[in-house]
Amino acid sequence: MIKRRTRRPATVPATSRARGDYKGVWNSVSEDEDHAKAAVAGYTDESRFRDMADATVSLLEGTVGIQPTDVFLEIGAGVGRVGPALAPRVKRWIATDVSENMLVHARRRCEGLDNVDFIAVNGWDLQPVPDESVDVVYCTVVFMHLDEWDRYGYVKEAMRVLRPGGRVYVDNVNLLGDDGWAFFLKTAHDYQPLERPANVSKTSTPQELRAFLEHAGFVDITLKTSSTFVWAYGKRPD
């Protein structure tokens, strides 16, 4: 099981933006690449970004699988951390993100790759993406920044854009794990209710992620947990 480091995101004053204003929130913290990196990961070191990209590819390989004929779509691609590691192994890699600024950085990171697309979305769905057009939809270290309704909304959209037999993968900090619970308590301690930044990280439970995938219609659902993270993946019926 791959362990991941949780992080405290760069802050956006809660009084300036609502959490659900995902486009405004994430454009405001990503005007340059270092600020964007810090906002999504808590660090800017490029070697760590490459290491985490490789770890994500290994995680996807061990869960939904990676085939050279696959079209992969990432929900919340950010600065394009995963693209250079994953795109050479698949037919096409599609980066979606609510922040146009993030996609500018992602394009720069993926220069030289001819099988990548970048799509700005509204923060609640994948409407620019055609029905039944991709093989794998994945969303990693993004659910923590979304409200529960919008997490489920993306799971439903994954069902729409996946081809029959397509695969989906999502993850989040695990509220039921010891480290996840400590993360939850630390966030509660660090911020008073009216001072919580709009992009503050929130946890999930395994039961929540299973419910989202089941209600969206996915089958062969698998849950894996660690002290810190919960991973969920499944497939669209053939």
pLDDT band at 48 (very low <50, low <70, confident <90, very high): confident
> Is a pLDDT exceeding 70 seen at residue 1?
no
**0.95 exceeded by the pTM?**
no
Looking only at the bridges linking them, the beta strands covering 92-97 and 71-75 are parallel
Other Cβ atoms closer than 10 A to 184: 17
What token pair was written down for 198? 């709009």
pLDDT band at 16 (very low <50, low <70, confident <90, very high): low
The 10 Å CB-count burial string (b at 16+, else e) for 121-158 is bebbebeebeeeebbbbbbbbbbbbbeeebbbbbbebb
Q: Are 53 and 59 in contact (CB under 8 A)?
A: no
CATH topology assigned to domain 22-235:
Rossmann fold (3.40.50)
pLDDT of residue 7: 43
pLDDT band at 49 (very low <50, low <70, confident <90, very high): confident
Q: What is the mean pLDDT of the chain?
A: 91
pLDDT band at 11 (very low <50, low <70, confident <90, very high): very low
Identity of the amino acid at 107: R
For residue 81, count CB atoms less than 10 angstroms from its CB and return exposed for 0-12, middle for 13-18, buried for 19 or more.
Answer: buried
| Cα distances (angstroms) measured from residue 108 to each of 83, 177, 228 | 11, 37, 32
pLDDT band at 9 (very low <50, low <70, confident <90, very high): very low
Taking residues 81-85, what's their average pLDDT? 95
pLDDT in tens, 104-156: 999 999 999 999 999 999 999 999 999 999 999 999 999 999 999 999 999 99
Residue 108's nearest CA partner among 78, 80, 86, 88 is 80
Which residue would you say has higher pLDDT here, 27 or 126? 126
Q: Are 94 and 80 in contact (CB under 8 A)?
A: no
Task: Please give the share of the chain, as a percent, with pLDDT higher than 90.
Answer: 76
Domain ranges of the chain: 22-235
Task: Please give the share of the chain, as a percent, with pLDDT higher than 70.
Answer: 93
